[in-house]
Every structure is written in C-alpha cells, then in structure tokens.
Amino acid sequence: MLDWYRGDLSSRRVLTLIKHLPQDSAVQRELHGEAAEWSITDHLLAATVDHLAVANWMFQCVNSGEDDDPPEPPKPVPRPGSNADADGGGEGEGQERDSAEEGAGEAVSPGALARFFG
C-alpha cells in the first residue's frame, strides 16, 4: 500500500492484486465470511452427501412396511452464507436465482454451485 501512496503503483494494479487474492486470504474472509473458506470441491462434496442422503431416505420410505411411520427426511449439509431453514427452503431464493442468471457467462462460483445443487 505504501507503493500506491507514493505513486509507484496504480490504483488499477492495486485493485487487480486485491481481486486475485487467494480464497483463504483475510480480505476474502472479511468480504465473504465463511463462504470464502469453501472451495468448489467442498460444495460438490456437500451436494453429493445431500443427494445420497435423499436417495437413502427414499429407499427407506419405499421399502418400509405400511404400519411403520415414515422416516424423517434428511437435513441438508449446512453451507456457508445460506439462510436455509431445516426443511431445505430459504429466504431470498428468488434473489439468489436472479443473481445466478446474471452471471451465466462468467466462471461458476461456489455459491452458485451451492444454490444449484442445494
């Protein structure tokens, strides 16, 4: 930052350096909170766990006896930045969907993957 203050580094270069900091940097954690700590792989693994839990739950529902009470549906793996309730719904889903559609031509973010698979 001292180079920027002295005029040796342009504002554009500083913004580029900040924009391309690693996901686990302090700046990213401050801007995005816990979501910065989750990589795309983490989101895909959470989606895989959720889908397997639902498949097992469906199998158990179909193959349980008629006298048995139906099992409780599985709870999804909690994801950072989501305000989802225990039933899988969330507040502001329409807003999330709109922002995902806007970035259709850009690289897929972990948050977009979580909304798609979650």
pLDDT of residue 51: 96
Residues 66 and 114 in one domain: yes
Residues 81 and 32 in one domain: no
Residues 21 and 45 in one domain: no
Residues 71 and 106 in one domain: yes
Residues 62 and 78 in one domain: yes
Residues 10 and 64 in one domain: no
Residues 113 and 62 in one domain: yes
Residues 90 and 115 in one domain: yes
Six token digits for residue 88: 């899988």
Residues of the chain with pLDDT under 50: 85-105
CA atoms within 13 A on the CB side of 46: 20
Residue with tokens 């006896």: 65
Single pTM value for the model:
0.50
**Whole domain around residue 1: which residue ranges?**
1-37
Residues 58 and 114 in one domain: yes
Q: Rounded CA gap, 61 and 85, in Å? A: 22
Q: Rounded CA gap, 91 and 83, in Å? A: 6
pLDDT of residue 97: 41
pLDDT of residue 21: 84
Looking at the structure of the chain, the number of domains it has is 2
